């Protein structure tokens, strides 16, 4: 890259990096090239400050205190619920459940909706490109209830085979649960089509939105999905906080999952009455500061805007695919037509861990492994891949650093 080339395309990447304290200091003596946001994104100062502010100035437990400080904390906590409602365009705040993350959201649906409404021989459809957190909870339900898990194939580019998906749908299909964007390949799934096909048959749909929300606006009402799960830490927010959206009538019909404080209206040893939505699903003291930090992350993203984020990212991805494709020994794993945030690849016979280690010496952070998507690796006949994933602080200079680093991998392994 020459000094004259902008590092951003539509986004002022240099300014955005200044919002993230982690970029202030070198890593291994090098400029930090962070290409692992799909695993967890870095945090802007406003999120860090929001959490610190809670503990320094507005901290108390929520929903219980009659005193001002507790009411203030409750307002901030519940205020975030309204922010998330607006963020997802949900109809009501009671449809927004705060949990630890997407994993917990999917498990909640499996353990409450699944246990209550699915039985022997009922079918759940996932795809071949799911994260383990959208596979294992259904397998656990299979062991407990005797449901069947059906897997819709993806083709060589990582695209869902919609015809094969449709063929799997039958009167026993009770739930379709798929990633909005796949984490190992970065493919944007045709969720509108999937939902249309499922809804025409009265099938409930859960979308795993972990890899979608950092990159594109999501409108749960426009999509008409029944459940939508995501994690705050991939959205530039804190760890330990995530969201499950569910349509109110479904959440109401579902039994609570965990029992304890906050999720009850009244308790005697003979009988307990559960709280109303959304608190019915929020047993115990919640992640108060993390929730408020998530609100700050949503505000921060809002100040940048998805239009600018998407315009920048599509140019950045095109640049990355073009440059990586020039490397002889490099094979892109999956070439989805609609790609978001992620590029996966293999190089010669070199193990991705070796590639990741060499890149690390240059301050370049990529993910090397199966990305919690072993069935996806099996589908593409590789044990693991290198995954470069992009956030709003990545620019062309990061792609160019990656390409230069891969040049060193070629030298070392004489590819
Ligand atoms: C598509 C997808 N679903 C679910 C998860 C699980 O998210 P968490 O570990 O934050 O619960 C991830 C995390 O990588 C993911 O990428």
What confidence tens digit (pLDDT) does each residue in 279-335 have? 999 999 999 999 999 999 999 999 999 999 999 999 999 999 999 999 999 999 999
Distance 143 CA to ligand 1 centre (A): 23
Q: What does the pLDDT read at residue 89?
A: 98
Residues 6 or more apart whose CB falls under 8 angstroms from that of 39 comprise 234, 367, 389
By alpha-carbon position, which residue is closest to atom 13 of ligand 1?
Answer: 39
Q: What does the pLDDT read at residue 2?
A: 39
C-beta of 179 in contact with ligand 1 (< 6 A): yes
C-beta of 210 in contact with ligand 1 (< 6 A): yes
pLDDT tens by residue, 55-98: 999 999 999 778 999 999 999 999 999 999 999 999 999 999 99
**Measured from the CA of 105, which atom of ligand 1 is nearest?**
11
The DSSP result for 71-135, as a single string, is HHHHHHHHHHHHHHHHHHT-S-GGGEEEES-HHHHHHHIIIIIIHHH--TT-EEEEETT--GGGT
- More confident of the two residues 4 and 277: 277
C-beta of 208 in contact with ligand 1 (< 6 A): yes
pLDDT, average across residues 335-363: 95
C-beta of 204 in contact with ligand 1 (< 6 A): no
pLDDT, average across residues 391-409: 97
At CA 277, angle to CA 251 and CA 236, rounded to 5?
85
C-beta of 211 in contact with ligand 1 (< 6 A): yes
**Measured from the CA of 371, which atom of ligand 1 is nearest?**
14
Q: What does the pLDDT read at residue 333?
A: 96
pLDDT, average across residues 390-408: 97
Per-residue confidence at 1, pLDDT binned at 50, 70, 90?
A: very low
Distance 131 CA to ligand 1 centre (A): 7
**Measured from the CA of 234, which atom of ligand 1 is nearest?**
10
Q: What does the pLDDT read at residue 298?
A: 98
For residue 20, is pLDDT > 90?
yes
Q: What does the pLDDT read at residue 65?
A: 79
Which are the catalytic amino acids?
372
Distance 60 CA to ligand 1 centre (A): 30
pLDDT, average across residues 200-213: 98
Q: What does the pLDDT read at residue 7?
A: 63
**Measured from the CA of 179, which atom of ligand 1 is nearest?**
1
C-beta of 131 in contact with ligand 1 (< 6 A): yes
Distance of CA 251 to the CA centre of its chain: 21
pLDDT tens by residue, 369-379: 999 999 999 99
Distance 356 CA to ligand 1 centre (A): 21
For residue 11, is pLDDT > 60?
yes
From the number of C-beta atoms within 10 Å of its C-beta (0-12, 13-18, 19+), residue 66 rates as exposed
149 bridge partner residues: 124
For residue 6, is pLDDT > 70?
no
Cβ(11)–Cβ(316) under 8 Å? no
Distance 371 CA to ligand 1 centre (A): 10
The mean-pLDDT minimum among 4-18, 54-68, 348-362 falls in 4-18
C-beta of 108 in contact with ligand 1 (< 6 A): no
Among 238, 244, 288, 280, which residue's Cα sits nearest to residue 262? Answer: 280
């Amino acid at each position: 890259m020459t000094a004259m080339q902008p590092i951003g395309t539509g986004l002022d990447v240099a300014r955005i990096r200044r919002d993230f304290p982690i970029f202030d200091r070198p890593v291994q003596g090098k400029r930090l090239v962070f290409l692992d946001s799909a695993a967890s994104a870095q945090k802007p100062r406003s999120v860090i400050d929001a959490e610190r502010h809670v503990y320094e100035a507005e901290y108390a437990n929520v929903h219980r205190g009659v005193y001002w400080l507790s009411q203030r904390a409750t307002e901030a906590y519940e205020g975030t619920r309204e922010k998330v409602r607006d963020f997802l365009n949900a109809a009501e705040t009671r449809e927004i459940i705060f949990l630890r993350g997407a994993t917990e959201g999917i498990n909640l649906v499996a353990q409450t909706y699944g246990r209550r409404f699915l039985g022997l021989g009922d079918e759940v459809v996932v795809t071949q490109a799911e994260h383990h957190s959208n596979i294992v909870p259904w397998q656990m339900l299979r062991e407990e209830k005797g449901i069947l898990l059906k897997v819709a194939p993806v083709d060589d580019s990582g695209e869902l085979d919609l015809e094969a998906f449709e063929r799997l749908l039958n009167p026993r299909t009770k739930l379709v649960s798929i990633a909005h964007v796949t984490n190992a390949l970065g493919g944007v799934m045709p969720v509108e089509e999937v939902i249309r096909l499922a809804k025409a048959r009265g099938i409930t749909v859960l979308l795993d939105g972990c890899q979608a929300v950092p990159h594109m606006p999501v409108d749960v009402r426009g999509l008409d999905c029944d459940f939508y799960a995501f994690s705050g830490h991939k959205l530039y927010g804190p760890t330990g906080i995530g969201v499950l959206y569910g349509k109110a009538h479904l959440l109401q019909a579902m039994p609570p999952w965990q029992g304890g404080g906050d999720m009850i209206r009244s308790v005697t040893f003979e009988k307990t009455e559960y709280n109303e939505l959304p608190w019915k699903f929020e047993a115990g003291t919640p992640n108060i500061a993390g929730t408020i930090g998530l609100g700050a992350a949503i505000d921060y993203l809002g100040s940048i805007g998805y239009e600018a984020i998407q315009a920048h990212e599509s140019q950045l991805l095109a640049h990355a695919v073009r440059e990586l494709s020039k490397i002889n020994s490099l094979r892109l794993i999956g070439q989805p037509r609609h790609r978001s945030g992620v590029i996966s690849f293999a190089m010669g016979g070199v193990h991705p861990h070796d590639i990741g280690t060499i890149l690390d010496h240059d301050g370049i952070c990529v993910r090397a492994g199966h990305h919690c998507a072993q069935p996806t690796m099996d589908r593409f006949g590789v044990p693991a891949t290198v995954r470069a994933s992009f956030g709003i602080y990545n620019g062309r200079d990061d792609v160019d650093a990656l390409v230069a680093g891969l040049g060193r991998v070629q030298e070392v392994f004489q590819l």
